[in-house]
Amino acid sequence: MTVLLVARAVTHHGGHDAIHRLAAQVSATTGVPTQACFLDGAEPSLHTALDETADHAEVLLVPAHLPPDRYLDTWIRRAVAHWRATRDRHPTISVSQPLATQPSLVTAVAEATTGGHTLLDGNPGPFRSPAWSQITRHRRQVLICRGPRCTAYGANQVATALNERLAKNGLGDDDVLVTATGCLFPCNLGPLVVVHPDDTWYENVDPNLAIRIVDEHLRDGSPVDGHRPRNADSSGVRSD
């Protein structure tokens, strides 16, 4: 059996590293191969992790989120169903009760309250930093959907390709502000990339199209393949 700890993305890489460390520690303690993956917004995705275990006899998914997250529980089932429907072979896949409902969690919290404490008496200056009172000067903002469906369709690879191409072209945050988002709604058209203020929506984006978006639209100012703003008429003028 192989165990996959399934988490949701967090806003900092340290959080992702913590899940990977937990998986390694579980594997060392139990002797059962264990790895971490993410439903949305981070790598490896649940689909990628399942691909890597496709030849295994049995895979157990453990929802790893505090507090209990019905979204995670629901979308694990949907993502697995999609994965099974799009693969020729697959192991037996089951899911455990979430970590958040395990009785031993009480023991972990109790140990935290009786363990070492760190006094919090720092300066509040960074909380009120003037830097967080300024709207950024970017010319364009790019939204990359990192929701569960777009992640299943390859949004992680799209984000990597787009960011690497921006760096290669010397385009920084003042030129293009890249923002990862949750669901942008037309999920079946994913992966989705949206360029503002142009209001241009790119559907079914793969890494090759992501590179073209950077080179043609973000660097040269010409939307790929004549993409027009959402709700534009045949002349390219917005109708709303």
pLDDT (tens digit per residue) in 147-159: 999 999 999 999 9
Q: How confident is the model at residue 240 (pLDDT cuts 50, 70, 90)?
A: low
Phi, psi of 152 (to 5 degrees): -60, -35
Q: Is the pLDDT of residue 235 over 60?
A: no
pLDDT (tens digit per residue) in 177-219: 999 999 999 999 999 999 999 999 999 999 999 999 999 999 9
Q: Is 178 left (phi over 0), alpha (psi -120 to 50) or beta?
A: beta
Q: How many whole angstroms separate alpha carbon 229 and alpha carbon 204?
A: 17
Task: Name, in order, each residue with C-beta under 8 angstroms of 147's C-beta and a sequence gap of 6 or more.
Answer: 40, 41, 155, 181, 182, 183, 184, 187, 190
The pLDDT score that the predictor gives to residue 89 is 86
**If you average pLDDT over residues 9-32, what whole number do you get?**
87
Percent of the chain with pLDDT over 70: 95
Give the residues across from 201 on adjacent strands: 194
Domains of the chain: 2-100 (3.40.50.1400), 135-226 (3.40.30.10)
C-beta of residue 25 within 8 angstroms of C-beta of residue 82: no
C-beta of residue 163 within 8 angstroms of C-beta of residue 178: yes
Q: Is the pLDDT of residue 13 over 70?
A: no
pLDDT (tens digit per residue) in 121-174: 888 888 888 878 888 899 999 999 999 999 999 999 999 999 999 999 999 999
Q: How many whole angstroms separate alpha carbon 40 and alpha carbon 69?
A: 13
**If you average pLDDT over residues 112-128, what whole number do you get?**
85
**176-193 b/e with 16+ CB inside 10 Å = b?**
bbbebeeebeebebbbbb
Q: How many whole angstroms separate alpha carbon 14 and alpha carbon 5?
A: 16
